[in-house]
Amino acid sequence: MKNYLFMFLTVIVSSMYLFPFEFSFLPGMNTKMLLGGLGLIILTIQLAKKQDALIDYNIFSLSVIAILISLTALFSVTLNATAETSYVTYIVSMWVWASGAYTVVTFIRKVHGYSSVRIVCNYLIAVCVAQCVLALMIDTYPTFKNAVHIFVGKIAGIVDNIHMLDDRNRLYGIGAALDIAGSRFSAILFMITYLCVKYQKELSKTQLLLYIFSFLFIALVGNMIARTTTVGLLLSIVYFIYASRNQVYHLINKEARLWKYVTGGLVVFLVAVTVIYNRDAQIQANIRFAFEGFFSLVEEGRWDVGSNKTLANMYVFPETLKTWLIGDGYFENPTSDPTYTGYMWKGFYQGTDVGYLRFIFFFGMIGLGLFIAFMCKVCTSCMKKFAEQKFLFAMLLAINFIVWFKVSTDIFLIFALFLCIGEDENREVTSQL
């Protein structure tokens, strides 16, 4: 029982890391910062005791690129005389994420005696399932929503007050909301698919069914929270079909049990969702929002999503060479800049939320190039460290770059968790699977 309580606590800590937020009674201090501070304390204690701190040396090479990103951002805002601070302190943000990741992995190591890629993935999956449950509870039970609103204030990187999410008429969890949540849900959906395919022979029936249920549940509710989740859903489906294609011809074989469980789980899940869909008007509205494109395809014969036109209008490009190279020094909408006298857009600078374009408008192709190099370095570091799972990391990077066509967010925080895993302990665990 004690161990289960510690596992539950580790899930909470992992959630506070993956989906950071501010407590209403601690304004200005989000859970990412708290975990980052705790991570520094843990590192200091372990180093003082001459223990192996198990923080990857790649962190330091990544720091060099992060410093260059910060300097490029500083150069852009200085040259353009703006008051923007986004990415100027990216080196600090990177280290806060890395330190917070170390805290999470330390908790995992205390519970299980070791850490591994697979165990970290399992905790991230549990977090996303929990966030989807919380989102449904917040949407269904006003008393629970009010309680959340009392204790939760700002959601880091999303809104300045959780009450603002109610105006969006969207589901949200505790720290999990909008496209930032969607990008992380996408990464976790692919993790589930990867684990099912790679370890299908070692997984028990119960484990497989839990993975399949988690995938379907996150795919459904995650899309209600943010339709960016569809990126991970589609990539997962393509990968699953390709990786297990040969099993289709041997469905009577034991080797094809994954297909059997997936098919059976999907049928049961769809029946349950259909029943709920026809009985609950609110759930029906949420599902239609989540899969608007699929509904329009079936009902109207064409793929039509309301946000597509909005996104298409966001593809605006710089008009000067200077902007292409070093940007205009604005990442957010310059409404709070007293020196700005130009046009005020609704939303972000130049009216675009497209990741690639926001980076270009902020610190140009130079900054964007450095940021791409940073993400590639994170990925290759994980791939070299954990060669057996290198395909997983390559696809996480692909998800990040695909999401940038929609929104400006990165999933360094997920890679950071894996960088904090000891290579030897992961190899040792992998060999036992």
Per-residue pLDDT of the chain (433 residues; tens, 9 = 90+): 668 889 999 999 999 999 999 888 878 789 999 999 999 898 888 877 766 655 667 888 899 999 999 999 999 999 998 888 889 999 999 999 999 999 999 999 999 988 999 999 999 999 999 999 999 999 888 899 888 888 887 776 666 667 677 666 778 899 888 888 999 999 999 999 999 998 888 888 889 999 999 999 999 999 889 888 999 999 999 998 888 766 555 555 555 677 777 888 788 888 887 787 777 777 777 777 777 776 776 667 666 666 666 677 788 889 899 999 999 888 887 776 666 666 666 677 888 888 899 999 999 999 999 999 999 999 999 999 999 999 999 999 999 999 999 888 889 999 999 999 887 776 555 444 4
Residue 280 belongs to domain spanning: 2-430
The answer to whether the beta carbons of residues 189 and 233 sit under 8 Å apart is yes
Dump the DSSP string for 210-254: HHHHHHHHHHHHHHHH-TTHHHHHHHHHHHHHHHTGGGGGGTTSG
| Cα 178–Cα 159–Cα 234 angle in degrees, nearest 5 | 10
Distances (CA, A) of 261 to 23, 203, 211, 345: 41, 12, 10, 50
The count of domains in the chain is 1
pTM over 0.85: yes
Give phi and psi for 408, each to the nearest 5. Answer: -95, 95
Residue partners of 389: CB distance under 8 A and separation at least 6: 117, 194, 198
Residue 159, helix vs strand vs coil: strand
